[in-house]
Amino acid sequence: MSHKAGFVSIIGKPNAGKSTLMNALVGEKMSIITPKAQTTRHRILGIVNTDEYQIVFSDTPGVIKPAYMLQESMMHQVEGSIVDADLILLVTDINEKYDESDVMIKLQKSEAPVAVLINKIDQSDEEAVKQKIAYWQEKLNPKVIFAISALHQHNVKAIMDFIIENLPEHPAYYEKDFLTDRNDRFFASEMIREQVFKQYKKEIPYSTEVIITKFEEGDKLYRISAEIIVERDSQKNILIGKNGEMLKIVGTYARRSMEEFFQKKIFLETFVKVIADWRSKKNYLKQFGYED
């Protein structure tokens, strides 16, 4: 029996309702995996697995912000995930007034079928919806246009059917059972590591290890402590930055990622520790029970 699998890129402005749509689409079937990019191109939001198919939903970093906010590196990532996509869902907000020309240009580089999802129609009227549909039909001539309300699950099933129908035949990209057993400590450490990769020049990230030394789950608040381990004092100084500024930035962004991910308030403490050549001392880490 043939198996289908593919990358579905969800693109759209940060407030267009991508995450609400994701939750509506994948529901309980979601296997959450780390939000850290698997490659520079895919920020994986979620994976839906059944025996017949695997859908890998990936996000593009804030594609269609107004032009002055666009940074080149971000746009390269966007282009990567558009070019690699098997299917593209362009999520737009019915009330959105921005010029969408920058995304049009990017979409022309892709062979993938495009579905335009006009979201938040619950906040609009039939006339406006008709106008928007006509607009997208003319502008982009996509394979399909759905008028949806992700919040009220309106037309969500139709999108899912469209995706499954248009997925290429392909073996699964990720092991189906392996995705769900990563524990919360792993996710927390990955979110800190993601920030270390984002905020520092090349040499630092590769000499760091992130170890979660405390993970206390309260009803409303998670208390998390982490050690960022480096090999030399000079690296420690760079990581901490002048008056601790750099470490503060890492902590702030990592905390926000965690709050979004765990849906809880997070109290995060980060410490930087020097262990000379820790990379060659795996046993050192095992002793402390940090590694499985």
pLDDT tens-digit series, residues 266-286 = 999 999 998 876 656 555 555
168 is in an annotated binding site: no
Q: What is the mean pLDDT of residues 243-250?
A: 93
Which of 225, 223, 214, 226 lies closest to 264, judged by CA?
Answer: 223
Lowest mean pLDDT among 28-32, 112-116, 255-259: 28-32
For range 18-32, the mean pLDDT: 64
205 is in an annotated binding site: no
The answer to the question of whether 143 is labelled as a binding residue is no
Contact criterion met (CB below 8 Å) for 153 and 27 = no
Higher pLDDT, 36 or 194: 194
Residue 218 assigned ligand-binding role: no
Do the annotations mark residue 113 as ligand-binding?
A: no
Where in the chain are the domains?
4-166, 183-287
% of the chain exceeding 70 in pLDDT: 70
CATH number of the 183-287 domain = 3.30.300.20
Residue 14 annotated as part of some ligand binding site: yes
According to the model, what pLDDT value does residue 292 have?
41
Residues 210 and 189: their CA atoms lie apart, in Å, by: 6
Has 166 been labeled as part of a binding site?
no
The domain 4-166: what is its CATH number?
A: 3.40.50.300
60 is in an annotated binding site: yes
**Is 23 annotated as contributing to ligand binding?**
no
Under 8 Å between Cβ of 117 and 148: yes
| Distance between CA atoms of residues 239 and 193, nearest Å | 12
**243 labelled ligand-binding:** no
Look at 81 and 172; give whichever has higher pLDDT: 172
pTM recorded for the entire structure:
0.56
Contact 179, 33 (CB under 8 A): yes
Note the pLDDT of residue 136.
Answer: 87
Query: What is the tens place of the pLDDT at every residue in 33-84?
Result: 444 433 334 566 677 888 899 888 877 654 444 444 444 544 555 555 556 6
286 is in an annotated binding site: no
Annotated ligand binding at 61? The verdict is: yes
